[in-house]
Amino acid sequence: MNIMNYTRIEESWLPALEPASRDDVFERILSRLCSNGFYEVNDGLTPESVLKAVLARENRQTTALGEGIAFPHARLENLKKPLFAVATFREPVLFENAPVHIICLILVPLAEPSISLKIMAQLSRLLTDPSIRQSVLDATDPAALRAIFNTHNLRIDKPILARDIMRPPQFCVKESDPVSICSHFMSINNLHAVAVVDQRRKIQGEITVERLFKYGLPEFFGQLKSVSFIAEFDPFEKYFEDEEGVLAADVMEPTARIVPMDYTIMEIVFDLAIKSYPKLYVVDEENRWVGTIDKGLVLDNVINH
């Protein structure tokens, strides 16, 4: 199904709005989107309840995803069918200090949570094109704005891909970094794994907490059922002996899971849940690191979406 089926011909398109606070902007978009009989059709909803749901989701975690785009959304118990609106602003609206020029506000029935993610995925893929994004910002009337989206076959029956849910790269270390710095970096940022990258942002491997924790332990240690007879053994002796000279390159795992941007959600879940990779590192066509996916991200963006 084309996602345009989840829009209203006039009410979903709000170009060149005057900027205001984030909450005031939500109220303005909803007053337009949910007008002309909306509450008669969706009995049980009120302007207050819809706005409260959108604000509750936004206050839990911002939906600003970079490039000046945000996807506020809410799941509503009494909503009959999904619905979304697109609003643009020449002056930015701040989402936790992130400037936003394009807001795609999505409402979905409580029983259909994946629809909002699929709508968001299609809109996000379209708006990542700088020329299309600029044409959206240049539109001055609802018909022109609607026409931009209508010319593309944006369908929700396409699978969710890595590009749709990945988090932009945040934490990494270099091969030449001392392992003591790496372990401290992982500790203060509460990281279970961190990418090791070269100067071109290509992933060379990853360092995991398990690898650091087990560094220097003899092979037989993992086969023991009790350590009572070697109670005096210092499990971190080798670590402290080698600490000054050990680099990230010496302890990194070469088995970092690198996946393409079009990796499907089923492949993602299989790698994380069945193959037990701590993270998936998403790369572009030139093999450069562009995003990261872990179990927490999948839970937040899919299951708790």
CA dihedral sign, ordered 142, 143, 144, 149: positive
As separate numbers, helices (DSSP H) first and strands (DSSP E) second, the chain gives: 13, 12
Beta-carbon contacts of 233 under 8 Å, excluding residues fewer than 6 positions away, are 227
Q: What percent of the chain has pLDDT over 90?
A: 53
Show the beta-strand stretches assigned E in 98-208. Answer: 98-109, 172-174, 193-197, 203-208
What are the tokens at 114?
């994946």
Reported pTM: 0.69
State yes or no: pLDDT of 112 exceeds 80: yes
Domains of the chain: 3-158 (3.40.930.10), 172-303 (3.10.580.10)
Q: Say whether pLDDT at 24 is over 90.
A: yes
244: pLDDT confidence band, cut at 50, 70 and 90? low
Residue 182 has pLDDT above 90, yes or no: no
CA distance 171 to 187: 12
Confidence category of residue 128, pLDDT binned at 50, 70, 90: confident
Residue listed under structure tokens 């053994």: 233
Mean pLDDT value across residues 242-261: 83
Q: Is the pLDDT of residue 86 over 90?
A: yes
Q: How sure is the predictor about 89, in pLDDT bands with cuts at 50, 70 and 90?
A: very high
Q: Is residue 225's pLDDT more than 60?
A: no
